[in-house]
Amino acid sequence: MLDVLVVGGGISGGSAAIYTAQGGLNTVVIDSGKSQIKQVSKVFNYPGIKEVSGPELLENIKEQAVAAGTEWFEGTVESVEMKESAYEVSMSDGRKLYTKYLVIATNLQTSILESLGFELAVNEKVPSGKIKKVLGIGLDGKTHLSNLYITSLLAGLSSQSVIASGHGASVGISIVSAETGKSYMWHDK
Ligand SMILES: Cc1cc2nc3c(=O)[nH]c(=O)nc-3n(C[C@H](O)[C@H](O)[C@H](O)COP(=O)(O)OP(=O)(O)OC[C@H]3O[C@@H](n4cnc5c(N)ncnc54)[C@H](O)[C@@H]3O)c2cc1C
């Protein structure tokens, strides 16, 4: 069984995986390759990086996650079921994986959350009024379901990569801290 499975390898999911893998947890990301940042030819507002293309920023995050020990699968998660002490994650190619901690980092895609019974509301921080969120999610990304975490817009945050990335990192830290029973700090080794 995996420690952590992240559904969605965009900015937030990839960032979560950097932290859970670096924190020593056996981590897999499954990504269907449709991150919004791929549409952006130049990103000028990611602090510390004056200019980067969206695809390059995304690839760098993936490389950092893999360097930390993450296994990265291309593919689509079709369904998730809660079993007694694990989540069963089924991919559209028929593969099934089992994980203790599950991170939903699917951004615009809400079907997995709906199938797990989450109620969705409008994320009012996005002006279009079309983006959904789960109510009551904090910076640690925890939900009422045991060991299930949500990132980014789905957690009610504002749009922009630095926010998605920071929230992913925060979720990763919260998972490592929950698993080890002590507050995790990257540089505190
Ligand atoms: C037109 C446009 C311009 C933008 N410009 C900027 C900008 O200049 N600067 C900036 O900082 N931000 C910009 N953004 C916002 C930025 O793209 C987002 O903040 C960021 O991508 C959100 O990260 P995320 O991880 O939440 O979602 P995403 O990066 O979108 O990642 C979600 C990932 O989940 C995957 N996924 C979904 N469902 C499944 C499934 N069932 N199984 C497997 N994988 C799944 C998707 O394929 C995708 O890869 C822009 C967005 C848009 C649309």
Give the domain CATH number at 99.
3.50.50.60
Q: What is the pLDDT of residues 110-124, one digit of tens each?
A: 999 999 999 999 999
Residue at 187 is within a domain: no
CB-based burial of residue 72 (10 Å sphere; 0-12 exposed, 13-18 middle, 19+ buried)?
Answer: middle
- In order of 12, 83, 153, the CA distances from 21 in angstroms are 14, 24, 23
Split at pLDDT 50, 70, 90, the class of 103 is very high
Judge if the beta carbon of residue 20 lies within 6 A of ligand 1.
no
Q: CA 19 → CA 24, 116, 122, 129, 179, distances in Å? A: 9, 25, 29, 31, 13
Contact 25 CB / ligand 1 (< 6 Å): no
Q: Whose CA is nearest to atom 23 of ligand 1?
A: 11
155 within a domain of the structure (yes/no): yes
In a domain, residue 186? The reply is no
Decide: 31 in ligand 1 pocket, CB within 6 A: yes
Contacting residues for 109 by C-beta, under 8 A, at least 6 apart: 8
Nearest CA owner, ligand 1 atom 41: 77
Q: How confident is the model at residue 188 (pLDDT cuts 50, 70, 90)?
A: confident
Q: How many whole angstroms from 83 Cα to the centroid of ligand 1?
A: 29
Residue whose CA is closest, atom 14 of ligand 1? 160
Do the domain assignments include residue 16? yes
- Cα distance between residue 101 and residue 147, in whole Å: 5
- The answer to whether position 140 is within a domain reads yes
Q: Which residue has the tokens 């959350």?
A: 113
Closest approach atom of ligand 1 to CA 154: 26
Atom of ligand 1 nearest to the CA of 168: 25
CA pair distance 58, 17, nearest whole angstrom: 13
Residue 93, Cβ density class (10 Å: 0-12 exposed, 13-18 middle, ≥19 buried): exposed
Q: Is the confidence at residue 189, as pLDDT, over 90?
A: no
Does 13 reside within a domain? yes
pLDDT at position 118 is 97
What is the average pLDDT across 4-18?
98
Collapse the DSSP code of 130 into the 3-class scheme (helix H, G, I; strand E, B; otherwise coil) and give the result. coil
pLDDT tens sequence across 41-79: 999 999 999 999 999 999 999 999 999 999 999 999 999
Q: Does residue 150 fall inside a structural domain?
A: yes
Q: 90 CB under 6 A from ligand 1?
A: no
Q: How far is the CA of 10 from the centre of ligand 1 (A)?
A: 6
User: What is the DSSP-derived secondary structure letter of residue 154?
Assistant: G
Share of the chain above pLDDT 90, in %: 98
Say if residue 99's pLDDT is above 80: yes
Number of compact structural domains in the chain: 1
Share of the chain above pLDDT 70, in %: 99
In a domain, 52, yes or no: yes
Q: Which residues constitute the domain of residue 80? A: 2-180
**Mean pLDDT (the chain, rounded):** 97
Distances (CA, A) of 51 to 23, 39, 78, 188: 29, 15, 35, 30
For residue 36, pLDDT beyond 90: yes
Computed over its alpha carbons, how large is the radius of gyration of the chain?
Answer: 15
